Amino acid sequence: MKKILLINGPNLNRLGKREPHIYGSLTLADVEKDLTEFAHNRNVELNCFQSNYEGAIIDAIHNAEGEYDGIVMNPAAFTHYSYAIRDAIAGVTVPVVEIHISNIHTREEFRHTSVIAPVTIGQIVGVGVYGYKLALLAMIEHLGGKLDE
Ligand code: DQA
């Protein structure tokens, strides 16, 4: 069974309460539960991790080496400026798919850049929390796993 780690960055613990017109009304617990089941139906074990701290996210990336086959990650605001997270991803062999709930390209200028994207397989943006499923499927496909139920 493939093992994938879902990492959510800062403020995503407030999903459902935080700017619902942008991020929707589902909570992180809702998203994680749904995605864990979605993964399980495709023979994938999904573990979920969220942190508001850059160092904790870096540690989770390091610790994923040898433990996980892939990482699906919403780095949240760190996307736009964390060279440290980018370097952590570049320094492990675990592949990463980046996901953003909102369309970062139609929002404020500072959100248009991802310093993370160049060290990922690809980026899913702007389709709401549904993007987590697309990102997971992209990772499963990358790992040669089973895409349908
Ligand atoms: C986000 C977009 C980021 O710009 C923002 O800082 C977030 C969430 C998204 O999922 O749309 O916290 O990553």
Q: Known catalytic residues?
A: 23, 100
The residue type of 102 is S
Nearest Cα residue to atom 13 of ligand 1: 76
pLDDT higher than threshold 90 for residue 133: yes
> What's this model's pTM, rounded to 2 decimal places?
0.97
pLDDT digits (tens, 9 = 90+) for 27-83: 999 999 999 999 999 999 999 999 999 999 999 999 999 999 999 999 999 999 999
What is the pLDDT confidence band of residue 86, given thresholds at 50, 70 and 90? Answer: very high
Confirm or reject: Cβ of 11 under 6 Å from ligand 1: yes
Could you give the percent of the chain with pLDDT greater than 90? 97
